[in-house]
């Protein structure tokens, strides 16, 4: 009942035999889609097919939803989007000859929406597989859009039987059925990670897996471990194609791979770049091939940030980027990322000193822009600040100076940056880090004003490590910026630690509470002081209203302040700390 085998003429004679002595070459294409650019994505797939065919490949495997891009989000609620995808798929199929292409796409069939993958060959759509397991956690909400699929699809090439799975089909443990609600509200029953088993039961010897698996610092190790388990459990070799590129806050790292039936790695494609790699399957076994080196943590995060900035700016048609340079480490790191992502000729830095700006901030900022070769301007804000204070003197009569005056300076700077952005079209990159976002150490309509937050998900302690890493590639960040105590420079002799715990403590509490979902009591039990935990957790909760108004930024951890952080602004829930 499971078998659904589509063969080519020569394969039919050996449908149920092993591929003894046969070699089948499978090409893996990890490429950078532009969401919604159906014609452009189809052209990329055809180009990959032509290159794969020239290298002797019989099959080309592309990533999940490669025809339309991932994730389409609420475009999937529009029937017209599905119709346009169907038209593009038919046109793509008509152009495919001499090679089989497995392409991911959304499908609307009999009123139901599916995350699908179709086998294209000789001008037609030969078969379509529908994703069985729909992720509905962290940044994923596929149950909002799709129905689960059912029947496995296996096809033959020269006697080798190839099954198709899509991303989440590999995850989870094999086990009993679970009940759940479908996208339409109807009840359904699904198996956890049974898709590989069903493909094996249908005769598959090798599993082709289409993926759109977004990057975070632990994700590749997790996906590789899961795939190894599935390969060994089912006795299936796996060829895994992952998307690459930036899409809003998500970055896809590529790093596609192949495993033999024992789960041993035979191929590894490079991280964060487009690539086409061929995997030779002999007697059902992937032969050893090229394995791109793994990246240290700092290198992988830095490349993810560069790719995220490059694609957000480029795919949205901005001519370049502008940012406020302060002489501090956050803006210095953001400037380095922007230049590496876009080129120095597309980046502009503006220094906006006040009477509280230290001389070394001017000196170090000028030094850094000279090293990078970016356009640099200085606009003093003291005259504007004085004008604001004069205008508000009556309102503020006999009231003490406090954070209001500090925030005025930040808002003047935000206004200036947005004015330059409006005039020249470049997007403003904000420079706030995750630690600041967590506790609200930022100013609405001030340093939070901008279009894209490059280091929004980078904790302050990691900011320092990334700055040091970047200098190993070329010393562009002056050493004093890295070594000096961090300061907003909004009042005399100010440092961040005047109003915050040390960043080592803050980041540890933030990671436990926000990223690992530990309770406050568990964090205290882990060694943090009660008063520090109360303070940081309280600040995280009180500043949700700010984060809701912050620009979108790149996600590099397993939980960022974006798609996978959905806490209420209005809430009186209070946790116990012991």
Q: Angle between the 79-95 and 38-54 helix axes, to the nearest 10 degrees?
A: 30
Residues 6+ apart with CB under 8 A from 340: 306, 470
**According to the model, what pLDDT value does residue 476 have?**
96
Asked whether 553 and 454 are in contact (CB, 8 A), the reply is yes
Q: Which of 339, 345, 409 is nearest to 368 (CA)?
A: 339
What pLDDT shows up at residue 192? 55
Q: Are strands 112-121 and 100-109 parallel, antiparallel or unpaired?
A: antiparallel
Pairwise CA distance, residues 272 & 215, whole Å = 10
Can you give the pLDDT at residue 498? 61
Q: CB within 8 A of 246, min separation 6: which ones?
A: 252, 307, 308, 309, 310, 311, 312, 315, 554
Show the domains of the chain with their CATH numbers: 5-14+21-290 (3.60.110.10), 299-496 (3.40.50.620)
> Would you say 243 and 70 are in contact if contact means Cβ atoms under 8 Å apart?
yes
User: Which of the residues 64, 142, 156, 406 is marked catalytic?
Assistant: 64
Q: Which residues contact 335 (CB under 8 A, 6 or more apart)?
A: 323, 325, 347, 349, 368, 369, 372, 374
Q: What are phi and psi of 421, to 5 degrees?
A: -60, -45
Phi–psi pair at 472, nearest 5 degrees: -70, -20
Catalytic residue check, 339:
no
Is the preceding omega at residue 71 within 30 degrees of 0, hence cis? yes
Instruction: Determine the pLDDT at residue 17.
Output: 36
Catalytic (active site) residue 131? yes
DSSP secondary structure letter of residue 420: H
Q: Which of 48, 85, 167, 339 is catalytic?
A: 167
Q: Which of 100, 131, 315, 434 is catalytic?
A: 131
Count CA atoms closer than 13 A to 85's CA, side-chain side: 28
Residues 544-574: b if buried by 16+ CB within 10 A, e if exposed? bebbeebbebbbbbbbbbbbbeeeeeeeeee
What does the pLDDT read at residue 181? Answer: 37
CA distance 91 to 77: 23
Whole-structure pTM value: 0.91
CA distance 133 to 148: 6
Contacts 24+ apart (CB under 8 A), 15-18: 15/156, 15/159, 15/161, 15/203, 16/203, 17/159, 18/159, 18/205, 18/283, 18/284
Task: Give me the tens of pLDDT residue by residue for the chain, a chain 578 residues long.
Answer: 233 445 543 433 333 334 335 899 999 999 999 999 999 999 999 999 999 999 999 999 999 999 999 999 999 999 999 999 999 999 999 999 999 999 999 999 999 999 999 999 999 999 999 999 898 888 999 999 999 998 999 999 999 999 999 999 998 654 444 433 333 333 333 445 689 999 999 999 999 999 999 999 999 999 999 999 999 999 999 999 999 999 999 999 999 999 999 999 999 999 999 999 999 999 889 999 999 999 999 999 999 999 999 999 999 999 999 999 998 999 999 999 999 999 999 999 999 998 888 888 889 999 999 999 999 999 999 999 999 999 999 999 999 999 999 999 999 999 999 999 999 999 999 999 999 999 999 999 999 999 999 999 999 999 999 999 999 999 999 999 998 876 655 556 656 566 688 999 999 999 999 999 999 999 999 999 999 999 999 999 999 999 999 999 999 999 999 988 989 999 888 887 77
Sign, Cα dihedral of 314, 457, 486, 461: negative
Q: Among this protein's residues, is 64 annotated catalytic?
A: yes
Q: Classify residue 345 by burial, with Cβ atoms within 10 Å: 0-12, 13-18, 19+.
A: exposed
Sign of the alpha-carbon torsion through 352, 355, 361, 367: positive
Pairing of strands 237-242, 206-211: parallel
202: three-class secondary structure by DSSP: coil
Q: Which residues of 509-526 are buried (b: 16+ CB within 10 A; e: fewer)?
A: bbbbbbbeebebeebbee
């Amino acid at each position: 009942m499971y078998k659904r085998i589509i063969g080519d003429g020569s394969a039919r004679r050996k449908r149920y035999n092993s591929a003894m002595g046969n070699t089948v070459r499978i090409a893996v294409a990890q490429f950078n889609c532009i969401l919604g650019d159906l014609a452009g994505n189809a052209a990329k797939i055809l180009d990959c097919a032509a290159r794969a065919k020239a290298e002797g490949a019989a099959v080309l495997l592309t990533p999940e939803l490669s025809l339309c891009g991932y994730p389409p989000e609420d475009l999937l609620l529009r029937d017209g989007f599905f119709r346009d995808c169907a038209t593009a798929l038919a046109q793509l199929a008509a152009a495919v000859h001499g090679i089989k292409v497995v392409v991911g796409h959304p499908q609307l069939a009999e009123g139901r929406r599916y995350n699908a993958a179709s086998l294209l060959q000789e001008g037609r759509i030969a078969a379509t597989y529908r994703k069985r397991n729909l992720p509905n956690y962290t940044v994923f909400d596929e149950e909002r859009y799709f129905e689960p699929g059912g029947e496995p699809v296996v096809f033959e090439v020269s006697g080798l039987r190839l099954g198709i799975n899509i991303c989440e089909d590999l995850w989870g443990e094999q086990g009993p059925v679970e009940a759940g609600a479908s996208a339409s509200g109807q009840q359904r029953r699904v198996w956890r990670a049974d898709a590989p088993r069903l493909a094996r039961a249908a005769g598959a010897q090798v599993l082709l897996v289409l993926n759109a698996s977004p990057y975070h610092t632990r994700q590749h190790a997790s996906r590789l471990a899961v795939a190894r388990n599935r390969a060994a459990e089912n006795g299936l070799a796996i060829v895994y194609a992952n998307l690459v590129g930036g899409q809003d806050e998500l970055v896809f790292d590529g790093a596609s791979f192949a495993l033999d039936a024992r789960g041993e790695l035979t191929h590894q494609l490079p991280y964060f770049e487009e690539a086409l790699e061929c995997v030779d399957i002999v007697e059902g076994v992937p032969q050893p091939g090229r394995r791109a080196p793994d990246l240290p943590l700092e290198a992988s995060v830095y490349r993810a940030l560069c790719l995220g900035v490059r694609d957000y700016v480029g795919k949205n048609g901005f001519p370049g980027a502008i940012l406020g340079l302060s002489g501090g480490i956050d803006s210095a790191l953001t400037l380095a990322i922007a230049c590496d992502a876009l080129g120095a000729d597309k980046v502009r830095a503006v220094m906006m000193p006040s009477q509280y700006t230290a001389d070394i901030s001017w000196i170090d900022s000028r030094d850094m822009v000279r090293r990078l070769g970016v356009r640099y301007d200085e606009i003093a804000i003291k005259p504007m600040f004085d004008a604001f204070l004069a205008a508000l003197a009556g309102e503020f009569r006999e009231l003490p100076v406090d954070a209001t005056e500090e925030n005025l300076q930040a808002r003047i700077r935000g206004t200036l940056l947005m004015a330059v952005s409006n005039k020249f079209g470049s997007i403003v990159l904000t420079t706030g880090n995750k630690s600041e976002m967590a506790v609200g150490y930022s100013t609405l309509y001030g340093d939070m004003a901008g279009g894209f937050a490059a280091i929004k998900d980078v904790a302050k302690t990691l900011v320092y490590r990334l700055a040091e890493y970047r200098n190993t590639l070329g010393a562009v960040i002056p050493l004093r910026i890295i070594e000096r105590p961090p300061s907003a420079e909004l009042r005399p002799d100010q440092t961040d630690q005047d109003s915050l715990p040390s960043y080592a403590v803050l980041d540890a509490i933030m990671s436990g509470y926000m990223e690992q979902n530990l309770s406050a009591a568990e964090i205290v039990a882990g060694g943090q002081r009660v008063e520090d935990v109360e303070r940081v957790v309280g600040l995280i909760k009180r500043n949700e209203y700010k984060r809701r108004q912050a620009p979108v930024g790149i996600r590099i951890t397993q939980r960022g302040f974006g798609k996978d952080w959905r806490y209420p602004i209005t809430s009186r829930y209070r946790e116990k700390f012991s």
